Structure 1
């Protein structure tokens, strides 16, 4: 077995476990199922679960994916296109592309958070962690001190555009999230010009 197929198999198993955890949390609530229930639903042993996730919360929320070091390096170096907001858009869509999420996956996450509101806080903390990493990369790219308004505003803009693109994506199966996000980035660039 090649290294790439082993990674792909591991990612598939991780995704299957996470989707099962999300389905259980939607159906029974976060506190309404055990790790044994999850193992049975996912078709793995309890021990295998811990090879993929440290606990139930991690299995249910599985993400967001970390920023790819290569994508981050390209961004900090001023790429891929040389426009800060556009390049932030590319950085966000690169995360989405690696995760290979579908409309169904996003709808499941939406249902999960509706059914389990306390998980919103955890999801928000994770999102803020990624946003902080992107802010730091923006500061490095632009040669700015920590906390500079330019980096904060740029990341806040891309976060707002992310939410807008996601809202459009979720209501129309014909829409593509990266296309929606980059269309929003183009519109924001024109508005701010």
Structure 2
């Protein structure tokens, strides 16, 4: 689907504002940067800033983790390609691919800021906690389908679903580390190649 010129301009302005906010916070510290400072540096109005982000905190944290497309989620539940952990990795990789390239410099700078600020760490943990519960519910639906639906005699499917999601977060952390290393070495990261390599590695681990 093509993107209109107006949408491109909106996305460019949004990107300019968030990059400006992150750069200012890196230079001056989170508590010393105001929305006025960000707007002045980004040549944007406060109205535009709040339409895009709602708060300084949101501008620094960046977009919330995206949800999978409903059809992708249904395919994950009802049409397995492999084991549940590998399929979860494939599904969430597809979600990331649908939302454009990751700016590794911006991602790294955000991580630096968040790690040094308890308020931002708490806000990020709450965000990822919400996403965690959504993914657990999705994985649980798949397990229930595989085991005969809700009410299965296996009363530990919820525990299995939570463990699978926790393992997926570990895989995600490893993938982002590989991506960051590639970017630091001036190699253009290939997201699909990283995912393919991880899936091969997962298969080897399961065979060990």
Q: Please state which band the TM-score falls in when normalised by the shorter chain.
A: 0.7 to 0.9
Counterpart in 2 of 1:65? 65
Segments of structure 2 that go 5 or more residues without pairing to the other structure are 151-155
Segments of structure 1 that go 5 or more residues without pairing to the other structure are none
Could you tell me how far 1:141 is from its partner in structure 2? Answer: 2.0
Counterpart in 2 of 1:75? 76
Change (3 A) 1:86 1:6: farther
Could you tell me how far 1:133 is from its partner in structure 2? Answer: 1.1
Counterpart in 2 of 1:176? 190
SS in 2 for 1:172: helix
Counterpart in 2 of 1:106? 107
Could you tell me how far 1:161 is from its partner in structure 2? Answer: 0.8
- Residue range with higher mean Cα deviation, 83-92 or 5-14: 5-14
Is 1:161 equivalent to 2:171 in the alignment?
A: yes
Counterpart in 1 of 2:126? 125
Counterparts of 1:177 and 1:131, CA distance in 2? 22
SS in 2 for 1:183: helix
Contact 1:139 1:148 in 2 (8 A): yes
Is 1:185 equivalent to 2:199 in the alignment?
A: yes
Deviations 1:55-90 (CA, angstroms, capped at 9, x unpaired):
1111111223321324333323335x3432222112
Could you tell me how far 1:157 is from its partner in structure 2? Answer: 1.0
> Could you say which structure has the larger radius of gyration?
2
SS in 1 for 2:170: helix
SS in 2 for 1:54: coil
Change (3 A) 1:92 1:3: closer
Q: What TM-score, normalized by structure 2, do the two folds share?
A: 0.79
Counterpart in 1 of 2:39? 39
Counterpart in 2 of 1:52? 52
SS in 2 for 1:100: coil
Deviations 1:116-140 (CA, angstroms, capped at 9, x unpaired):
3431221122122222211111111
Q: RMSD of the alignment, in Å?
A: 2.5
